[in-house]
Copies of this chain bind each other. A is one copy, B any other.
Amino acid sequence: MGIAERRLRQKDEVRSSILETAWNIVREEGWQSLSIRKIADAIEYSVPVIYDHFANKEAILLEFGKQGFNLLASKMEEAKKTTEEPGEQLKAMADAYWNFAFRNKEYYQLMFGLGIACCETDKCLPGTITFRDLVMEPISRLLAENTNKQINGCLKYHTFWSVMHGLISIKMTANTAEVADELNKMVLDDAIDGFIRNLKG
């Protein structure tokens, strides 16, 4: 009785084509321009079919949000593995974050833009690694070597994200080429260097 299986497969294909089509629309016209009707048109089904696969429009966006967070997490994990020195790890992850943001503007805008608030940056990952674990560990190692024991690691963790997010979101919002690209990357490098220097004491 492979009928049920075939049906599930077909249903999954429609679901996939919804996501694929939506992604194309977003890439070509931006999030603002994505509409249920446009998707329905493109996949050659009527509008209500979409609601058989997603509760509402936000559920579609959330799906992309998850994808984005997973991709970002894997890129940062990968970056971290390239070195053992905690300071270098932080720099590598900052680099990975930067690259992710500008190679996947659509994802980044959805994830951190007008708070689709997919998650609090942490949750909604496959359960294994969290961003917190990833970034907190090298911070703690640097702080352990620091003679000044007053410094709060949790606080530094937030600073790390804030600096990166701030730099990227300002650059992304700014009218394209307000400042040269290299300068922006230098600002990030400089800020992260300063951050690490302060961690080392």
Contact = CB atoms under 8 A, between A and B. Distances in A.
Q: Please tell me how many copies of the chain the complex holds.
A: 2
Nearest to A189: B155
Interface in A135-183: 152, 154-156, 158-159, 161-167, 169-170, 172-175, 178-179, 183
Contacts of A187: 155, 158-159, 162
Nearest to A199: B194
Nearest to A191: B159
A175 B47 CA distance: 32
A197 interface: yes
User: What is the size category of the interface that chain A forms with chain B?
Assistant: 35 or more
A56 interface: no
Interface in A182-201: 183-184, 186-187, 190-191, 194-195, 197-198
A113 B109 CA distance: 11
A179 B194 CA distance: 24
Contact of A163 (B112, B156, B163, B184): B163
Interface in A4-63: none
A117 B175 contact: yes
Given A158-B179, A158-B183, A158-B187, 8 more contacts: A112-B173, A114-B114, A115-B172, A158-B167, A159-B163, A163-B163, A165-B169, A166-B166
29 contacts: A112-B169, A113-B114, A115-B172, A117-B175, A120-B174, A120-B175, A155-B187, A156-B190, A158-B179, A159-B163, A159-B167, A159-B187, A159-B191, A161-B170, A162-B163, A162-B166, A162-B167, A162-B170, A162-B187, A163-B163, A164-B166, A165-B169, A165-B170, A166-B166, A166-B169, A194-B195, A194-B198, A197-B198, A198-B198
Interface of A: 112-115, 117, 120-121, 152, 154-156, 158-159, 161-167, 169-170, 172-175, 178-179, 183-184, 186-187, 190-191, 194-195, 197-198
